[in-house]
Structure 1
Amino acid sequence: MSLPNDYQLTESQRLIRDSVLGLLASVLPREKIQALDEASEFPLEAYEALARAGWMGLPYDARHGGAGGSFKDLAIFVEAVAYHNAQMASAYLATVVYGGMQISHGASDAVKEEILPAIISGKTRMALCLTEPEAGSDVSAIRTSAVADGDDYIINGQKVFITCAHVADQLVVATKTDRDAGRHGISLFVVDARSAGLTIRPLKALGRRMIHTNEVFFDNVRVPASRMLGARNGGWNSLMRGLNLERLCLSAAASGNIQKIIDYAKDYASERRQFGRPITDYQAISQKFADLQIMAETTRVLTYRVADMLDAGLQPTAETAIAKVVATENNCKCADMGIQIMGGAGYMMEHEMQMYFRDARVGPIGGGTSEIMRTIIAKQMGL
């Protein structure tokens, strides 16, 4: 079983899907996913295989060694990766989209030439350091400071819930360069993860154990001024520019995982017999699958729609927020329903459904909570 092909995909987009699914099936089989998840180990072998196959360069310009793929191409790729494993999609996004695209848009030519080819080759991994203990949804409230000192800046502060920071080589760090200016005082820097005074401490979370989150501490970390991304105090606009892309990718990842949940539950239910019949013969089960399919179709249509809008040069703020809410909340509902279909087996650690449930739950929280997304949608309605 696999993702459907009846969405007017181009031949190259079908090839993207088929190629990545085949590659991941080879380098990241199901038993390895379970072992890595239990050990909280990063899927390095699979990550490096994606890099060798050229997938890290999908959204980047050809002048940096990228493939110049469209937003739709990226959505289809992320959906396929997440169909195989949602954590693998997050590992990809942390470097290529959340960190790497800030480099692509805001770094000097010298920094681009240093980092982008290394991202594309798989030699450099990234993480975006944004959230703080007192600043989550309210990005303007960050306190991590960057103070000019000659040709350098000195960074002090703390970040929390930073995905993949423990395996990152470079960090994109949101700082305050003007403490009292709110969102107009934010500047971004790219910081070497091995810098003196920088400490990364992994956290234990309910799910996504392979790519778990981290605390990052900055104690007088010295960064050259040339590592600033964009203009001083221009970090807010840089962060906002990436939000539509982030929501598209999170929606695509949820879409892929929803389809995997359906296929996994269907495989189990087709073999499971009660009262002498497969449980799929019972309306109570078959209608659950109908509900799962409704959520899968709705999620995929909204995801592909916003990808097409971005490719058309639009800035679909409300539409990407809607897609993100629907996709991530559907992902949670589908995982919960998958456990119910499988009964006691779905609750057991030897089956993957419990991992889908744990991994999906962060979706309505990360990348902007569902509550914040609904506020954005209401504002776009003039409310």
Structure 2
Amino acid sequence: MKTLTKTLVNTTGLNEDQQMIRSAVLEILEATLPKEEIRRIDETKEFPHAAYQALAESGFLGIFFEEQYGGAGGSAKDITNLMETLGYHYAGIGQAVMITSIYAGAHVAKFGSEEMKQRIIPGIIDGSIKMSLAMSEPGTGSDVAGLQTKAVRQDGGYVLNGTKVWISGAHVADYIVVIAKTDMNAERHQGLTTFLVDVKSPGVTINPLAMLGRRTTHANEVILENVFVPEGNRIGEEGRSWKNLMKCLATERLGLAAISAGNCYRITEDAVAYAQEREQFGQPISKFQVIQHKLVDMWIMAEQARQATYRVAELLDAGESAIEETSVAKIIATENNFKVSDIGLQVYGGSGYAMEYDMQMYFRDSRVGPIGGGTNEIQRNVLAKRMGL
């Protein structure tokens, strides 16, 4: 496995700081989130608090935010490098960081008032504030424009009523970024407004949901019953959230692709190591060409995911919108992640289907990729539209 491992940690194209980030992050995670702990929290459905806080205390959550708020002002390539590294160690810690810093935190960073930024962003960076993003509803998953959660103006703020579902990380969040309708008669894509909801507010109920994978950052139902949100917790202009949501998509899809790319390599490494140890017919199964080809295919798909993802980072850093490229990268990386885990499970054979091995977790965790963050069918719709179809 030495040659493949050497390829994985290849730092070609990364500057010295990015190389140091990769090494330091892996060192922190190996100390705070070893394999045994990953397996334990997956079974108990616990959030990876220790690893998350260790990353925060080392300053890595600041990569996503501007220096004036205590951040490091990282580039898209910096973010990709971090998220790929997290995904390589364990997809769940990558998801944990992404939910707060990208999904929800980006709305505050891009569209929040100056007062809100000063109040919230330093807490995200030091790990004292965790957040979640609530868009999907029981009747509107991919159809965000059709959501029905209402926000009615009241003296000094708004009153929110509605139900959100599949809200990852809400069970550990201090604040939830909620998308609601302030004008129920507005045309599609109009009348949507974003709010920062304190989970301790009266009327907020969070119900954990039992999920197939990504158990440590699992989904939740969020019920809002006459929840008052002060005016100062509105994010951006009233009725203008659709355009703001679209502006956050590039980084969201980049993060998802990077986590999946890194995870492809982890799965491939584990499968290679198992194949070299597992003996059948008097020799390691890695000596059989049929197994070798499966492992090579896994490696190829990991490389495809990585190359598509870093291409997006380069374009974003160059000031391009990269609309097509972000959808392509999200599709390639998340679908390859699942394919790699599926092949890996086949390499493991009966052991892959056993809960004692990690391959079944990789398989379960990877399946959400083509569904979450905008389904891959929606990504294909975006591409079809860009093609003029």
TM range (shorter): over 0.9
**Secondary structure at the residue paired with 1:178?**
coil
1:206 aligns with 2:212: yes
Alignment of 1:260-271 (within 5 A): 260-271=266-277
Partner of residue 235, structure 1: 241
Partner of residue 56, structure 1: 61
1:118 aligns with 2:120: no
Equivalent-residue separation in structure 1 for 2:353 and 2:84 (angstroms): 25
Kept after mapping to 1: 8 A contact 2:11/2:19? no
Partner of residue 135, structure 2: 130
Kept after mapping to 2: 8 A contact 1:199/1:217? yes
Kept after mapping to 2: 8 A contact 1:186/1:234? yes
Instruction: Report the CA distance between 1:152 and its aligned residue.
Output: 1.2
Residue type of the partner of 1:86?
Answer: A
Instruction: Report the CA distance between 1:282 and its aligned residue.
Output: 0.4
Equivalent-residue separation in structure 2 for 1:55 and 1:160 (angstroms): 29
Equivalent-residue separation in structure 2 for 1:69 and 1:369 (angstroms): 27
Kept after mapping to 2: 8 A contact 1:154/1:223? yes
* Matching residue within 85, 90, 98 for 1:80: 85
Instruction: Report the CA distance between 1:11 and its aligned residue.
Output: 1.3
Count residues in correspondence.
383
Instruction: Report the CA distance between 1:7 and its aligned residue.
Output: 3.6
Instruction: Report the CA distance between 1:4 and its aligned residue.
Output: 3.2
* Matching residue within 91, 100, 103 for 2:105: 100
Equivalent-residue separation in structure 1 for 2:142 and 2:225 (angstroms): 24
Partner of residue 9, structure 1: 14
Equivalent-residue separation in structure 2 for 1:232 and 1:6 (angstroms): 45
Equivalent-residue separation in structure 1 for 2:351 and 2:209 (angstroms): 28
Equivalent-residue separation in structure 1 for 2:11 and 2:97 (angstroms): 26
Equivalent-residue separation in structure 2 for 1:64 and 1:271 (angstroms): 50
- Cα deviation 1:233-261 (Å, max 9, x = unaligned): 01111111010111100000000100000
- Cα deviation 1:110-157 (Å, max 9, x = unaligned): 111110001101000000001001111111000000000111100000
Equivalent-residue separation in structure 2 for 1:332 and 1:45 (angstroms): 28
1:375 aligns with 2:375: no
Instruction: Report the CA distance between 1:180 and its aligned residue.
Output: 2.1
Partner of residue 231, structure 2: 225
Alignment of 1:1-383 (within 5 A): 1=5, 3-181=8-186, 182-383=188-389
**Secondary structure at the residue paired with 1:58?**
helix
Residue type of the partner of 2:68?
Answer: R
**Secondary structure at the residue paired with 1:231?**
coil
Instruction: Report the CA distance between 1:6 and its aligned residue.
Output: 5.0
**Secondary structure at the residue paired with 2:161?**
strand
- Cα deviation 1:160-199 (Å, max 9, x = unaligned): 0000000000110000001122211100000101110000
Residue type of the partner of 1:291?
Answer: D
Equivalent-residue separation in structure 2 for 1:308 and 1:5 (angstroms): 18
Instruction: Report the CA distance between 1:290 and its aligned residue.
Output: 1.2
Equivalent-residue separation in structure 1 for 2:178 and 2:209 (angstroms): 19
Kept after mapping to 1: 8 A contact 2:206/2:222? yes
Residue type of the partner of 1:199?
Answer: T
Q: Which runs of 5+ in 2 are unaligned?
A: none
Residue type of the partner of 1:270?
Answer: Q
**Moved segments of 4+, more than 6 Å:** none
Task: State the TM-score, normalizing by the size of structure 1.
Answer: 0.99
Equivalent-residue separation in structure 2 for 1:165 and 1:194 (angstroms): 12
Task: State the TM-score, normalizing by the size of structure 2.
Answer: 0.97
Give me the identity figure in percent: 48
Kept after mapping to 2: 8 A contact 1:5/1:14? no
**Secondary structure at the residue paired with 1:239?**
helix
Residue type of the partner of 2:317?
Answer: D
